[in-house]
Amino acid sequence: MARVQPFFLGSKRFLTFAFFLLFGILVKFSTLSLLAENTFSSQGAADVTIPSFGPDGKISWELEADEVVPVESSQYFVKQPNLKMITKDDALTRASSDVGIFDLSKGSARGDTSLNVLSDVFQASGNQWSWQEISEKGSHQLTFASDAYVYFKSEIEPVIAKPAVEKTSPAKKKNKLEKTVANADVMEFFAIKKGGYRFILDGNVSINGDSLEIKCMKMEILVEQDQNKSEMSYGRISEVRASGNVRMKQLGRICRADNLILDTKNGKGLLTGNARVEDAEWGFVSGEKVELDRETGKARVLGDERARPRLELPNLGKIKLPGFKK
């Protein structure tokens, strides 16, 4: 139950009004608590709103539904569920579906129909969904077992973009609509303690932005949601980890490797395992590891005992060297 802090009023009229207001709030919360404790009639209840409070007295989630029918124990069949999830950093995410089975005591739910999710920084959808308020990975974990899709309201900035391109068109980059869309067979995401979300995509993963495309078998995406930072960084994709036949295409270059790590905040990237960078203008380099740097636009190749770095330049035509006769 929500905690009410004591206060003092100088007017008897205001004190009476406050008493009835508080009484009404207590009656409402008591009624909702009874609903959550299996006091539904066998026919169920219509137009239901059920809140759940965390240890700090704040609302952790709130379920609105057209109809709620008891199934067994604390489980309910819910029609038109609209689940409002609130994280510790007060980020709000809403999820809605046609039907679902909710376990109110465990803070969990599942459904076979499509679930649509909306937040300030992303939109997601998928089928065969499940929700868990508290998991080992984080809070408000949502999992889609098929047809998973997520749309981020920010873009993954190219890590090896040519400096000349970035410097000559800052106004165009600032004004354009940035977005990133990802698809996968299976997807799960959850809120993390430090703020933001971590997404895990598995099976035929593809992610596309305005200037970048990545395809792989598995990917993890970290999204910032620190409200104390600037508007530019709020909801930004800060890290991408891809594995399994990785192919990244951007700005006239194609990168291939077994694994890829992108640190978009610092403009760094690392390709490992059969790494190869192909450039339409400069040729290609390959090695066991390739480091990418956005500031310089360079790719640094590292080899190992088994494979030495390799550099191949395109045909530059005849090169005239001093001291050599025809």
Domains along the sequence of the chain with CATH: 61-312 (2.60.450.10)
What phi and psi values does residue 142 have, to the nearest 5 degrees? -115, 135
Name the residue with higher pLDDT: 322 or 92. Answer: 92
User: Does residue 4 register a pLDDT over 70?
Assistant: no
The predicted model scores a pTM of 0.75
Question: Which tens digit of pLDDT belongs to each residue from 310-320?
Answer: 655 555 444 44
Q: What is the separation, in whole angstroms, between the first and last Cα of the chain?
A: 93
What is the rounded CA–CA span in Å between residue 297 and residue 159? 8
Whether the predicted pLDDT of 26 surpasses 50: no
CA separation for the pair 97, 106 (Å, rounded): 19
Share of the chain above pLDDT 70, in %: 70
| Mean local confidence (pLDDT), 15-27 | 37
- Rounded to an integer, what distance in angstroms lies between the CA atom of residue 46 and that of residue 44? 7
Q: How far apart are CA 79 and CA 84, in angstroms?
A: 15
* Res 174 pLDDT > 70: no
pLDDT for the residue 226: 60
Taking 70 as the threshold, does the pLDDT of residue 169 lie above it? no
Query: Which pLDDT tens digit goes with each residue over 67-98?
Result: 999 998 889 999 999 999 998 878 889 999 99
- The pLDDT value recorded for residue 160 is 54
Listed residue (136, 125, 46, 127) closest to 93, CA to CA? 125
Structure tokens at 8: 């003092």
* Residues 225-257: tens digit of each pLDDT: 665 555 545 578 889 999 999 999 987 889 999
